[in-house]
Amino acid sequence: MVLNAFRGALGFLTTLPIGRTEAAWEAFAARPVVMVLVGYVLGGLIALPLLLPLPSPIVGFWFVLGVVGFAGINNFDGLLDVADGVATHGTPEQARAAMKDSQIGVGAVLTMGVVLLGLFAVGSW
C-alpha cells in the first residue's frame, strides 16, 4: 500500500509517467507523508546537472530546466496564483478571486523572475 501511495505521489507531484491511476491517487491521499520520498527522488533528478563538468552558466540553465521539466508547469502556476493572491490589496475574498482568475499580476511576474533567477544562481554555484 505504501508503494502504491508513493507511485500516486510521483504521478501527482511530478511529470514522471508513473502512478496516474485512481487507486494510486487514493493511496497517496491516505498517506501524504510519502511526498517526502518524492522530494528526495525529485531532488536527485534535478541535481544531476550539478555533477556534470560543464561551465557553471550551462549547469545553472540545465538546473532550471530540470526543475521546470520534472516538477511540471502546474507547480509554477500554483506558485504564481498564490503570489497574485498575496499581492492583492483588499479582502480575503478578493485575494482568492485574484488567485482563481487567468490574468497574470505583478506579484506573479515578480515571483517568477525571483524564482528563476534564484534557481539559476543556485545551479550555477
Inter-residue contact 13 to 24 (CB < 8 Å):
no
d(CA 37, CA 2): 11
- Nearest-angstrom CA–CA distance, 86 and 70: 26
* CA 30 from centre of chain: 21
Query: What does the pLDDT read at residue 39?
Result: 92
**49-104 pLDDT tens trace:** 888 899 999 999 999 999 888 888 888 888 899 998 998 888 998 888 888 888 88
